[in-house]
């Protein structure tokens, strides 16, 4: 009897192993990589799985420190996820290399803003705009009051005057703050000044760098002139100083997170100031994140549907409200949820005029050169004009090399 | 056959995770390869190697790296030898001191670098200390003249404990009789140090110098965490530049060629060190 029972168990086990394998294999697997907690994205995953019970989703949260390297190595190894999040500064390279797949936006084009950063030179769109962030001015209200400042600086001269007034309060307090260092900070904090002045980094046909021209030089000279009354430091250093009340004015975005890092700080928020000339406007930097489908995905139709689901529903903005959704109904919902939030209002207003650099596939090289020119000027290594002229030479050679590669 | 069987776990992992990547990157160094393009590497001969020598940023990275190596190794080694000699004496709390000096060596470099970012910040401990003496501080990691020396100082602090332990092991293998004989002959402590300790520490010294040179030429984590090569390229070292080329600009062929140029430089330095340090070794044999 025992032998029979054992034999039955063994047979049952042997039969069930391939069955279990078949059961697992019957589900289609989709992998999703983003930089956020799974619980934040889960509502979209649940919605998708409810509509597709035969699909199983494997979610991975990437780290900000090495997530990009992980994406690159996975792609090189042919193990890219089906759906992933990409920052705007990375989109051009991925589009150029056809690493991400085009999507058809005919039916939903008007429902989103922010398509520009996902549009390739071939006119195709390569991802769903998820959310964007821009920078605004945060002003320490107590320091401003002591310095006799009672309104937002609307122009460059007002910003400079306010910075100098706060800086004069005490030797331990600086007026404005200039952030340098790292791969992105230096140029991302400076470029709003250049854009507001009407300057651009490269020409529309990508044949020439425009950095040494008048408006660009003027913007960098102005930025450098703020140095006398500013704290020059890395993003973390400057933020820390602002939290501690040692800096009066900081240009920052959602990462400043005053509620968490300096809950007792009295502050107000403003749009970025513009040059004094009437033909200018306040332009901010727009950093956007996209949800893309990789070219390696074997389930592109399903992956595209999942990507669209993730791009809707305020998944991130419900947790960090100043990361503004590009899906228009989501933005409306967010604004209705916080109708009296002054910070959100300023972010939304600034975002209307926010922009990002030309999506040139060699932007990584160009940003490095631009960063060098800005840092050299701020750190007193030559004039803005000389540094930008040198930068133009280097940028032009990269642009020419790119055109040559493209056979143009 | 049984030897091969017992060695096979190591052989397999060595072949998979060391030999294959090394050989593949050597092949890549002769190609143009973008890892995200989905295309296979395209053979371009020596083009990457020739391009390196006309690349200004490579020369800047090499200059910074050599400055780092030359600035850190003598200081680290000297401190480690002197400390090892003191810790070899019968002093109170000897084990405590040994453990304390070794502690940075077992702490993650990322943690250490993060702490030093705060130490070097404009409102950090270093500037506060300097202000006590009326010295005006600066933003150490954003000053193109001081950023690399600041990282070097941290590296010295982080690494000398490990080398101290190696020297301690070397010191304990020196026969006590030699010092006793030297005492009878009336040799001073300094004379004993230069005539007995240093010559007999020579094998350890060679080992420490060679591995420290290799490690210093490969400095990366500190730079990645603290400055990302800035400001104005002042802290861009060869490995950081290589990483930037491979993983930010996707020029994997060029990055591989850089790795082999670095390999050649380290090899030459190491061979030179061994040749110089072994000169006259027979006198003491």
pLDDT digits (tens, 9 = 90+) for B14-72: 999 999 999 999 999 999 999 988 889 999 999 999 999 999 999 999 999 999 999 99
Residue A105 sits in which domain range? 24-132+286-354
What are residue A153's phi and psi, to 5 degrees?
-75, 120
Which pLDDT value is given to residue A331? 95
**Do A281 and A375 belong together in one domain?**
yes
User: How far is B94 from B90, CA to CA, in rounded Å?
Assistant: 7
Mean pLDDT across chain B, nearest whole number?
Answer: 91
**Do A271 and A382 belong together in one domain?**
yes
Inter-chain CB proximity B141 and A180 less than 8 Å: no
Which pLDDT value is given to residue A21? 47
Which pLDDT value is given to residue B208? 94
Query: Mean per-residue pLDDT for B229-248?
Result: 94
Which pLDDT value is given to residue B42? 94
Please check whether residue A268 is in contact with residue A142, taking contact to mean a CB–CB distance below 8 angstroms.
Answer: no
Q: Please count the structural domains in chain A.
A: 2
Q: What share of chain A is helix, strand, coil (3-state, %, to 5)?
A: 50, 20, 35
**Do A118 and A251 belong together in one domain?**
no
- Decide if A13 is inside a domain: no
Name the residue of chain A whose CA is nearest to B249's CA: A364
Region of A407 on the Ramachandran plot (φ > 0 left; ψ -120 to 50 alpha; else beta): left
Categorize the per-residue pLDDT at B91 as very low, low, confident or very high, splitting at 50, 70 and 90: confident
| Backbone Cα Rg of chain A | 25
Inter-chain CB proximity A181 and B142 less than 8 Å: yes
Which of B35, B231, B252 faces A375 most closely, judged by CB atoms? B231
**Do A235 and A189 belong together in one domain?**
yes
In chain B, domain spans: 49-284
Inter-chain CB proximity A99 and B228 less than 8 Å: no
Which pLDDT value is given to residue A211? 86
- Decide if A140 is inside a domain: yes
How much is the ipTM here?
0.84
In the CATH scheme, what is the code of domain B49-284? 1.10.3720.10
Which pLDDT value is given to residue B265? 96
- Decide if A4 is inside a domain: no
**Do A153 and A281 belong together in one domain?**
yes
User: How far is A325 from B187, CA to CA, in rounded Å?
Assistant: 80
User: How far is A318 from B3, CA to CA, in rounded Å?
Assistant: 62
**Do A319 and A372 belong together in one domain?**
no
**Do A31 and A145 belong together in one domain?**
no
Residue B250 near chain A (CB below 8 Å): yes
Any idea of the CA torsion for A316, A320, A321, A327, to the nearest 10 degrees? -20
Which residues are bridge partners to A268 per DSSP? A139
Categorize the per-residue pLDDT at B174 as very low, low, confident or very high, splitting at 50, 70 and 90: very high
Categorize the per-residue pLDDT at B285 as very low, low, confident or very high, splitting at 50, 70 and 90: very low
Q: Model confidence over A236-292: pLDDT tens digits?
A: 999 999 999 999 999 999 999 999 999 999 999 999 999 999 989 999 999 899 999
Size of interface A-B (CB pairs under 8 A): 81
**Do A257 and A321 belong together in one domain?**
no
User: Which residues of chain A are at the B interface, by a Cβ-Cβ cutoff of 8 Å?
Assistant: 68-69, 72-73, 75-76, 93-94, 97-99, 180-183, 186, 231-234, 236-237, 240-241, 244, 246, 295-296, 364-365, 371-372, 375-376, 379, 381
Q: Give the CATH number, domain containing residue A278.
A: 3.40.190.10
What percentage of chain B has pLDDT greater than the value 90? 74
**Do A273 and A300 belong together in one domain?**
no
**Do A366 and A349 belong together in one domain?**
no
Which pLDDT value is given to residue A6? 55
Please check whether residue A223 is in contact with residue B111, taking contact to mean a CB–CB distance below 8 angstroms.
Answer: no
The low-confidence residues of chain A, meaning pLDDT below 70, are 1-25, 408
3-class secondary structure for chain B? CHHHHHHHHHHHHHHHHHHHHHHHHHHHCCEECCCCCCCCCEECCCHHHHHHHCCHHHHHHHHHHHHHHHHHHHHHHHHHHHHHHHHCCCCCCHHHHHHHHHHHHHCCHHHHHHHHHHHHCCCCHHHHHHHHCCCCCCCHHHCCCCHHHHHHHHHHHHHHHHHHHHHHHHHCCCCHHHHHHHHHCCCCHHHHHHHHHHHHCHHHHHHHHHHHHHHHHCCCHHHHHHCCCCCCCCCCCHHHHHHHHHHHCCCHHHHHHHHHHHHHHHHHHHHHHHHHHHCCHHHHC
Which pLDDT value is given to residue A31? 97
**Do A45 and A124 belong together in one domain?**
yes
């Amino acid at each position: 009897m025992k032998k029979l029972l054992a034999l039955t168990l063994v047979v049952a086990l042997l039969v069930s192993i391939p069955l279990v394998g078949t059961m697992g294999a019957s589900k289609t697997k989709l992998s999703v990589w983003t930089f956020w907690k799974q619980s934040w994205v889960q509502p979209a995953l649940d919605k998708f799985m409810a509509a597709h019970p035969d699909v199983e989703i494997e979610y991975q949260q990437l780290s900000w420190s090495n997530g990009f390297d992980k994406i690159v190595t996975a792609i090189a190894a042919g193990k890219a996820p089906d759906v992933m999040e990409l920052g705007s500064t990375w989109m051009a390279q991925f589009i150029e290399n056809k690493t991400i797949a085009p999507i058809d936006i005919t039916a939903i084009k008007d429902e989103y803003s922010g398509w520009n950063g996902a549009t390739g030179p071939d006119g195709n769109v390569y991802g769903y705009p998820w959310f964007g962030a821009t920078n605004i001015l945060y002003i320490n209200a107590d320091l401003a009051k002591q310095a006799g400042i009672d309104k937002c600086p609307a122009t460059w001269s007002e910003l400079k005057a306010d910075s100098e007034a706060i800086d004069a309060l005490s030797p331990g307090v600086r007026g404005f703050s200039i952030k340098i260092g790292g791969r992105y900070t230096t140029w991302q904090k400076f470029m709003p000044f250049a854009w507001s002045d009407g300057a651009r980094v490269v020409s529309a046909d990508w044949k020439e760098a425009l950095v040494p021209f008048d408006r660009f030089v003027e913007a960098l000279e102005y930025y450098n002139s703020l140095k006398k009354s500013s704290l020059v430091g890395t993003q973390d250093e400057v933020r820390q100083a602002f939290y501690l009340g040692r800096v009066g004015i900081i240009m920052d975005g959602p990462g400043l997170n005053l509620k968490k890092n300096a809950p007792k700080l009295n502050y107000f928020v403003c749009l970025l100031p513009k040059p004094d000339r009437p033909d200018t406007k306040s332009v901010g930097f727009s950093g956007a994140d996209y949800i893309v489908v990789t070219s390696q995905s074997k389930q592109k139709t399903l992956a595209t549907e999942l990507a669209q689901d993730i791009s809707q529903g305020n998944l991130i903005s419900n947790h960090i409200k100043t990361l503004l959704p590009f899906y228009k109904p989501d933005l409306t919902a967010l604004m209705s949820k916080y109708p009296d939030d002054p910070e959100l209002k300023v972010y939304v207003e600034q975002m209307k005029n926010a922009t990002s650099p030309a999506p040139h596939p060699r932007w990584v090289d160009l940003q490095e050169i631009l960063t060098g020119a800005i840092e050299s000027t701020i750190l007193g290594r030559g004039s803005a004009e000389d540094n930008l002229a040198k930068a133009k030479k280097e940028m032009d050679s990269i642009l020419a090399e790119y055109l040559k590669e493209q056979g143009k | 056959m049984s030897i091969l069987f017992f060695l096979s776990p190591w052989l397999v992992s060595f072949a998979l995770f060391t030999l294959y990547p090394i050989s593949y990157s050597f092949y890549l160094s002769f190609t143009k390869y973008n890892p995200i393009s989905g295309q296979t590497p395209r053979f371009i001969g020596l083009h990457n190697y020739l391009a390196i020598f006309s690349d200004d940023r490579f020369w800047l990275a090499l200059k910074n790296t050599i400055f780092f190596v030359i600035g850190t190794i003598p200081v680290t080694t000297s401190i480690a030898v002197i400390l090892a000699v003191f810790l070899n004496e019968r002093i109170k709390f000897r084990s405590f001191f040994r453990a304390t000096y070794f502690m940075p060596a077992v702490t993650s470099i990322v943690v250490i670098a993060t702490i030093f970012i705060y130490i070097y910040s404009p409102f950090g401990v270093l500037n506060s200390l300097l202000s006590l003496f009326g010295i005006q501080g600066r933003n150490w990691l954003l000053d193109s003249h001081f950023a690399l020396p600041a990282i070097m100082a941290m590296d010295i602090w982080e690494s000398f404990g490990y080398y101290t332990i190696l020297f301690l092991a070397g010191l304990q293998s020196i026969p006590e009789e030699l010092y006793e004989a030297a005492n009878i002959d009336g040799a001073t402590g300094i004379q004993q140090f230069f005539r007995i300790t240093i010559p007999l520490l020579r094998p350890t010294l060679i080992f420490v110098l060679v591995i420290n040179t290799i490690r210093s030429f490969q400095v990366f984590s500190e730079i990645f965490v603290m400055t990302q090569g800035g400001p104005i390229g002042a802290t861009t070292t060869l490995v950081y530049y290589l990483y930037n080329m491979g993983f930010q600009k996707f020029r994997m062929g060029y990055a591989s060629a850089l790795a082999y140029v670095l390999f050649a430089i380290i090899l030459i330095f190491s061979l030179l060190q061994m040749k110089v340090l072994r000169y006259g070794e027979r006198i003491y044999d």
